[in-house]
């Protein structure tokens, strides 16, 4: 915990893991101005699409393919063949720690690896030209691109400013002049009056000179002053500049959508304006780390459905299943999470760069992880997000690919929860299919022994095969769709009509 003015601030969200350095941002003198016009729009997410988070917290600075951008570009064909339809890229701009910064300690939002700043031209992920080539490779394989947008704070100011506010003298790193970039793309500089406060000094304590944009809400889980130099979005100048930057970024990279970092720490009225003036009909998903379906629904209401939200409660449901490691009651998966409550606005995930990082949230799903992936990739509701580290570093890629292709081919039609069949170990869920897709029956088992249960399925007089390959042979159903559906111990099966 870190002291804040007022109250106490807890680090959370994607930025939580950063080493908090002094920040300073420069901005033009206060003046009024209209919001920028709405831009042209691009298609939203694909039917039965699968998003991939294309990074993890400590990705290497170099790979066999070159930079991280070159690594992702090299994987575009295989990911497209695996049913991945969108890629969430890490923050692409220069961070306060230069080439070591993973982007959440954002210094210059207009430097995408193009200018010699903070000791490097390239960002942690590569140069601008490599980034543009990566996006071209992804687009060439039919994969949409979502950029990680960090607009709550700035870090790593160029110089210290001295000023007096309410009779108190301040000496704070809040001046951003971007000497390596100059006025290329933007002449906007940041000063103390463009912020509400900043973390400074060896203990990163908060100094505050403007009111926070909003009071804490959701029992204190959402608060304005998260980290670094806290941007003052109550002032129209910062609002307009950030909208202008969002449109520039969208055009510069040809983006199809956005992942918004630390959204619950940003003034909601400004955020709605940003979405209205930048997003259009593109896709957006926001990190709003509430382990509460009702709080996520409240936020969805406050943002008017403009943005999807990550299903944090579902992640913690999977975490409970993992921690139980066979002792958890699988009926907890029935109608679970924000995905069930608000499917059109839900992005389901198993783990991400925050949950699977020591020193961060660190709530990884370690045991029975593929059961969680089978759940999100066959579900009627929600837009599933696959984690790069699970796919490549943890060796789950082949199994995730199989499920992703099952989703593409079979996950259609009405869904059904078998509440009268499910028990502490056995969980069943079906998709009935439609006129051109055969549907599926998902069976999960966290117990140590194989299980079989009789179920009246949507598939009448059918012969079915486990398309995952986990259970050999076939099963048949009668004229009512009744059949015995087996699954191995600590395993998953997806039975599909032949």
DSSP codes joined into one string, 160-210: EEEEEETTEEEEEEEEB--TTTTTSS----B-GGGEEEEEETTTTEEEE-S
Among residues 108, 147, 261, 354, the one annotated as catalytic is 261
Rg, Å, the chain Cα set:
24
Task: Give dist(CA 165, CA 276) in Å, integer.
Answer: 34
DSSP codes joined into one string, 322-369: HHHTT-S-GGGGTT-HHHHHSGGGEE-BS--TTTTSTTSS-----SSH
Judged by DSSP in three states, 149 sits in: strand
Sheet holding 205-208, edge to edge: 153-154, 229-231, 195-200, 205-208
As given in the structure block, the two tokens for residue 286 are: 């926001």
- What number of other Cβ atoms are within 10 A of residue 251's Cβ? 11
Task: Give dist(CA 108, CA 129) in Å, integer.
Answer: 17
Say which residues have a Cβ less than 8 Å from residue 449's Cβ, sequence separation at least 6. Answer: 489
Among residues 230, 287, 311, 351, the one annotated as catalytic is 287
Letter string b/e over residues 130-156, b meaning 16 or more CB atoms within 10 A of that residue's CB: bbbebbebbeebebbbbbbbbbbbbbb
Say which residues have a Cβ less than 8 Å from residue 256's Cβ, sequence separation at least 6. Answer: 42, 43, 86, 144, 145, 146, 282, 283
Taking each helix axis as running N to C, give the angle between helix 128-140 and helix 68-81, from 0 to 180 degrees, rounded to the nearest 10.
0
Strand 2-3 vs strand 8-9: parallel, antiparallel, or unpaired? antiparallel
Establish whether 354 is a catalytic residue.
no
Task: Give dist(CA 288, CA 56) in Å, integer.
Answer: 19
Establish whether 340 is a catalytic residue.
no
Task: Give dist(CA 112, CA 108) in Å, integer.
Answer: 8
Strand 308-310 vs strand 283-286: parallel, antiparallel, or unpaired? parallel
- Residue the block writes with tokens 């769709």: 481
Task: Give dist(CA 66, CA 126) in Å, integer.
Answer: 9
Residues acting as catalytic residues:
261, 287
């Amino acid at each position: 915990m870190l002291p804040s003015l007022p109250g106490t601030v807890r680090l959370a969200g994607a930025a939580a893991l950063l080493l908090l350095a002094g920040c300073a941002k420069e901005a033009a003198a206060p003046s009024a101005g209209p919001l920028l016009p709405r831009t042209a729009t691009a298609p939203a997410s694909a039917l039965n699409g699968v998003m991939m988070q294309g990074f993890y917290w400590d990705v290497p600075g170099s790979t066999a393919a070159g930079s991280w951008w070159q690594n992702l570009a090299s994987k575009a064909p295989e990911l497209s063949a695996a049913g991945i339809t969108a890629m969430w890229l890490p923050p692409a701009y220069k961070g306060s720690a230069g080439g070591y910064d993973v982007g959440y300690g954002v210094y210059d939002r207009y430097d995408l690896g193009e200018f010699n700043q903070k000791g490097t031209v390239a960002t942690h992920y590569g140069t601008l030209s490599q980034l543009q080539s990566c996006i071209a490779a992804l687009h060439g394989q039919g994969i949409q691109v979502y950029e990680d947008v960090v607009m709550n704070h700035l870090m790593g100011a160029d110089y210290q400013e001295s000023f007096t506010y309410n009779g108190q003298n301040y000496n704070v790193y809040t001046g951003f002049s971007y000497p390596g970039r100059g006025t290329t793309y933007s002449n906007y500089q940041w000063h103390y009056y463009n912020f509400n406060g900043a973390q400074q000094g060896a203990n990163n304590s908060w100094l505050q000179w403007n009111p926070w944009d909003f009071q804490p809400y959701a029992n204190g889980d959402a608060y304005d002053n998260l980290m670094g130099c806290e941007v003052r979005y109550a002032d129209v100048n910062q609002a307009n500049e950030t909208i202008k930057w969002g449109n520039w970024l969208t055009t510069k990279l040809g983006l199809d959508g956005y992942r918004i970092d630390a959204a619950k720490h940003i003034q909601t009225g400004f955020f709605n304006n940003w979405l209205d003036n930048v997003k259009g009909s593109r896709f957006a998903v926001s990190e709003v780390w509430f382990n509460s379906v009702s709080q996520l629904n409240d936020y969805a209401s406050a943002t008017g459905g403009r943005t999807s939200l990550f299903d944090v409660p579902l992640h913690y449901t999977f975490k409970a299943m993992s921690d139980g490691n066979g002792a958890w009651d699988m009926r907890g998966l029935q109608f679970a999470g924000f995905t069930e409550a608000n499917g059109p606005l839900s992005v389901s995930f198993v783990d991400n760069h925050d949950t699977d990082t020591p020193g961060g949230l660190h709530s990884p799903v370690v045991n029975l992880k593929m059961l969680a992936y089978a759940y999100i990739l066959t579900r009627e509701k929600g837009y599933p997000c696959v984690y790069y580290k699970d796919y490549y570093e943890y060796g789950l890629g082949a199994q995730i690919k199989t499920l992703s292709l099952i989703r593409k081919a079979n996950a259609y039609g009405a869904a059904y929860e078998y509440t009268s069949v499910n028990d502490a170990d056995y969980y069943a869920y079906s998709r009935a299919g439609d006129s051109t897709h055969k549907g599926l029956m998902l069976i999960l088992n966290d117990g140590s022994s194989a299980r079989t249960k009789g179920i009246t399925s949507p598939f009448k007089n059918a012969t079915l095969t486990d398309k995952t390959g986990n259970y050999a042979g076939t099963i048949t159903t009668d004229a009512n769709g009744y059949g015995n559906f087996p699954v191995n111990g600590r395993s998953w099966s997806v039975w599909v009509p032949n």
